[in-house]
């Protein structure tokens, strides 16, 4: 991403890997916090809890929500509120300036 300053990313398919290597994942999120978007490649609402757990808490050693996918337990990153807001919606507002910003908390 250093060589492509206008590139954004999302992590919909790799939450299990992020929860497996949280030290590196945390460094990545801190460094590129202005260019990461929240994304999920599933429509199943119950899967979002795993994403929120990895991003928002400091929990350790919990199972992935799909038994057939990640065969390891995960750790959380405990991202700051500042980074979480950017990942969840502020970065998207930057990319989509026509969105009504009053719908999102500051």
Domains identified in the chain, total number: 1
* pTM of the predicted structure, to 2 decimals: 0.88
Range of the domain at 59: 9-103
φ/ψ of 40, rounded to 5, equals -140, 135
Strands 9-10, 73-75: parallel, antiparallel or unpaired by DSSP? unpaired
Task: Classify residue 3: in a domain, yes or no.
Answer: no
Q: Residue 27: what pLDDT?
A: 96
In the block, tokens 């795993």 appear at: 50
Task: Classify residue 85: in a domain, yes or no.
Answer: yes
Model confidence pLDDT, tens digit, residues 82-106: 999 999 999 999 999 999 999 998 8
């Amino acid at each position: 991403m250093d060589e492509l300053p206008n590139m954004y990313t999302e992590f919909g398919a790799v939450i299990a890997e992020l929860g497996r290597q949280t030290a590196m994942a945390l460094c990545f999120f801190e460094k590129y916090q202005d260019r990461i978007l929240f994304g999920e490649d599933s429509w199943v609402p119950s899967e979002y809890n795993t994403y929120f757990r990895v991003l928002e808490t400091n929990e350790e050693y919990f199972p992935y929500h799909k038994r057939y996918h990640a065969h390891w337990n995960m750790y959380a990153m405990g991202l700051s509120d500042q980074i979480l807001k950017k990942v969840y919606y502020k970065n998207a507002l930057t990319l989509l300036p026509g969105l009504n910003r009053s719908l999102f908390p500051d």
